[in-house]
């Protein structure tokens, strides 16, 4: 009995030994021993030792990851909660969705289409960039003069849409937003186009050992300086230029129709959220956010968090469908447009995975060039981030004719959160912090811009121009 008691004490001292021993007791096969003098196992050994060292499942030390049931519960609770909000909104305001108002908004001032004309005018900047590259290949322009002309073309490309948006009274806010986004993408594409061609040209000159080889290299270079090559790049879902893009074998019509149907459905849902959910919140406001007291401001922001976040998620999915539609139509092979940003445990990881084409452009043409000029990597990253924040601010402030720096300040605040709180929130807690910043971050600041734009036109005296064409948000949100 003394040996059996000793074995029991050793068994209870280790939870792993307990599991192994209990498993052996539950085995159907009898325990065989080589020594017939060994004592038999106690029949209640598994009952005598039922405790071991282990953490609770919800403890951070347990390494437990099976939270699927909790996720299902949260999803069901969110669906039921928002179904109640939708029902309450419908009972209080009725059915406000009116697609006809959106179609009327697309027809700008007697069908003059100033935003479409603005986009078509962008061709002159693209053709100028192509001609400058051709002149360099024919030795009609020196490298320095060509670089100066390219920069002049870039500056005019940036100033031209801003001047038209600020001084053209017939352009709608929606048209101005689309035009400005188009010109921003075009500017980055043309900058990559001229800089990459310069790299190709330098590589050819470096590899040419004889005049004959140089002539062959120059001929190969000229084959790529065509309208077809340029416009394929301008239409492709990328911001970084290269000579030969990876291509898929063929265009899949079923994928094209699938992406097109996705875009139509998502746009309809976004219109419904704006007209049915956000517009009634705007109607309750009498003052802009800058003139509200703190209590009313918080109340409106809390009410706008959910619809704004849904709009942001739908905009991401719309971008996914549009980029894949363009890639399928052009047989563009590289479709890595985003990473798994929803699993990001830090804001920095989110920024790196949210918009892959823009991150590649910044890495290739801004960050690397700054580091080559002896700028420290951390300072170069900060400059790239500040440039991105300023770009986001301009994309919203210019079409709305209101620059309050809310988006810029919100993005800088997120940077401070990432720097000072990143070490304290890791793993699941870090992912929770990322989602919290997405809920209360730049998308909500964008909505406050549109809120004040809506309020300003409600207070302004109505006129044919302003009420019909300079009030896209109000027309877009107008109830039936």
pLDDT digits (tens, 9 = 90+) for 324-341: 999 999 999 899 999 999
Q: Using N-to-C axis directions, what is the helix angle for 294-330 and 442-459, rounded to 10°?
A: 110
Distance CA 164, CA 184 (A): 15
Please give the C-alpha separations between residue 449 and each of 267, 303, 395, 445, in angstroms, as whole numbers.
21, 15, 12, 7
The reported pLDDT for the residue numbered 88 is 76
Q: What is the pTM of this model?
A: 0.78
Which pLDDT band, with edges at 50, 70 and 90, does 64 fall under? confident
The reported pLDDT for the residue numbered 17 is 43
Which pLDDT band, with edges at 50, 70 and 90, does 16 fall under? very low
Of 113-117, 229-233, 259-263, the poorest mean pLDDT is in: 113-117
pLDDT > 70: percent of the chain: 78
The reported pLDDT for the residue numbered 477 is 40
**Is 370's pLDDT higher than 90?**
yes
The reported pLDDT for the residue numbered 151 is 92
Mean pLDDT for the stretch of residues 109-138: 85
Mean pLDDT for the stretch of residues 53-64: 78
Residue 410: other Cβ atoms inside 10 A: 22
Mean pLDDT for the stretch of residues 424-450: 88
Is the separation of the CB atoms in 134 and 141 below 8 Å? no
Q: Which residues contact 78 (CB under 8 A, 6 or more apart)?
A: none
The reported pLDDT for the residue numbered 109 is 53
What value does the mean pLDDT of the chain take?
Answer: 80
**Is 46's pLDDT higher than 70?**
no
Per DSSP, the residues of 37-84 read TSPPPPTTHHHH--------TTSTTS-----HHHHHHHHHHHHHHHHH
The reported pLDDT for the residue numbered 453 is 84
The reported pLDDT for the residue numbered 260 is 94
Residue ranges covered by each domain of the chain: 114-235, 254-477
The reported pLDDT for the residue numbered 467 is 39
Which pLDDT band, with edges at 50, 70 and 90, does 459 fall under? low
b/e sequence 172-204, b meaning 16+ C-beta within 10 Å: bbbbbbbbbeebbbbbbbbbbbbbbbbebbeeb
**Is 299's pLDDT higher than 70?**
yes
The reported pLDDT for the residue numbered 472 is 40
Q: What is the DSSP secondary structure assignment for residue 401, as one 8-state letter?
A: T
Which pLDDT band, with edges at 50, 70 and 90, does 19 fall under? very low
Q: Which burial class, exposed, middle or buried, applies to 445 when counting CB atoms under 10 A from its CB (0-12, 13-18, 19+)?
A: buried
**Is 157's pLDDT higher than 70?**
yes
Which pLDDT band, with edges at 50, 70 and 90, does 28 fall under? very low
The reported pLDDT for the residue numbered 89 is 73
The reported pLDDT for the residue numbered 171 is 84
Positive or negative, the CA dihedral 363, 368, 370, 375 is: positive
Q: Which residues contact 184 (CB under 8 A, 6 or more apart)?
A: 391, 395
**Residue 193 belongs to what H/E stretch?**
helix 173-207
The reported pLDDT for the residue numbered 102 is 65
The reported pLDDT for the residue numbered 471 is 41
**Distance separating the N- and C-terminal Cα atoms of the chain:** 89
The reported pLDDT for the residue numbered 220 is 54
Distance CA 410, CA 388 (A): 12
Mean pLDDT for the stretch of residues 129-141: 87
φ, ψ for residue 313, nearest 5 deg: -65, -40
Mean pLDDT for the stretch of residues 73-77: 84
**Is 442's pLDDT higher than 60?**
yes
Please give the C-alpha separations between residue 360 and each of 238, 240, 248, 337, in angstroms, as whole numbers.
9, 7, 21, 10
Mean pLDDT for the stretch of residues 25-49: 55
Please give the C-alpha separations between residue 108 and each of 117, 174, 244, 279, 375, in angstroms, as whole numbers.
11, 10, 39, 22, 47
Residue 286: other Cβ atoms inside 10 A: 11
Q: Which burial class, exposed, middle or buried, applies to 341 when counting CB atoms under 10 A from its CB (0-12, 13-18, 19+)?
A: middle
Which of 313 and 7 is assigned the larger pLDDT?
313
Of 140-149, 219-228, 285-294, 429-438, the poorest mean pLDDT is in: 219-228
Q: What is the CA radius of gyration of the chain?
A: 31
């Amino acid at each position: 009995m003394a040996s059996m008691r000793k074995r029991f004490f050793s068994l209870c001292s280790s939870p792993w030994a307990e599991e192994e021993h209990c498993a052996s007791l539950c085995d159907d096969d009898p325990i065989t021993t080589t020594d017939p003098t060994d004592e038999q196992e106690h029949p209640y050994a598994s009952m005598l030792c039922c405790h071991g060292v282990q953490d609770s499942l919800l403890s951070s030390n347990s390494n437990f990851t099976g939270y699927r049931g909790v996720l299902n519960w949260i999803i069901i609770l969110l669906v039921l909660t928002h179904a109640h909000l939708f029902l309450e909104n419908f009972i209080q305001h009725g059915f406000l969705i009116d697609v006809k108002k959106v179609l009327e908004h697309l027809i700008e001032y007697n069908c003059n289409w100033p935003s479409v004309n603005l986009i078509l005018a962008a061709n002159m900047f693209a053709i100028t960039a192509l001609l400058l590259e051709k002149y360099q290949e024919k030795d009609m322009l020196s490298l320095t003069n060509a670089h100066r002309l390219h920069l002049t073309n870039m500056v005019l490309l940036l100033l031209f849409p801003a001047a038209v948006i600020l001084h053209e009274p017939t352009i709608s806010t929606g048209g101005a937003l689309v035009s400005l986004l188009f010109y921003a993408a075009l500017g980055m594409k043309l900058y990559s186009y001229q800089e990459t061609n310069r790299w190709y040209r330098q590589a050819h000159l470096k590899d040419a050992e004889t005049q004959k080889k140089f002539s062959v290299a120059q001929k190969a270079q000229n084959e790529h300086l065509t309208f077809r090559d340029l416009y394929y790049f301008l239409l492709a879902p990328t911001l970084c230029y290269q000579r030969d893009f990876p291509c898929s074998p063929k265009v899949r019509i079923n994928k094209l129709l699938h992406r097109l149907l996705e875009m139509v459905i998502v746009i309809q849902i976004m219109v419904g959220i704006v007209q049915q959910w956000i517009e009634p919140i705007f109607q309750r406001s009498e003052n802009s956010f800058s003139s509200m007291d703190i209590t009313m401001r918080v109340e409106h922001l809390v009410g706008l968090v959910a619809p704004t976040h849904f709009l942001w998620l739908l905009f991401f999915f719309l971008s996914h469908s549009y980029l894949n539609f363009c890639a399928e139509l052009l047989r563009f092979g590289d479709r890595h447009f985003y990473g798994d940003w929803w699993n990001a445990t830090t804001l920095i990881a989110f920024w790196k995975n949210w918009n892959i084409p823009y991150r590649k452009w910044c890495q290739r043409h801004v960050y690397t060039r700054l580091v080559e000029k002896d700028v420290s990597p951390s300072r170069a990253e900060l400059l790239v981030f500040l440039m991105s924040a300023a770009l986001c601010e301009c994309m919203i402030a210019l079409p709305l004719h209101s620059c309050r720096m809310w988006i810029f300040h919100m993005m800088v605040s997120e940077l401070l959160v990432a720097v000072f709180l990143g070490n304290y929130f890791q793993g699941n807690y870090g992912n929770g912090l990322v989602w919290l910043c997405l809920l209360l971050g730049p998308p909500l600041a964008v909505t406050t811009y549109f809120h004040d734009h809506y309020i300003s036109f409600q207070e302004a005296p109505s006129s044919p121009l302003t009420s019909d064409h300079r009030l896209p948000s109000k027309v877009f949100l107008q109830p039936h």
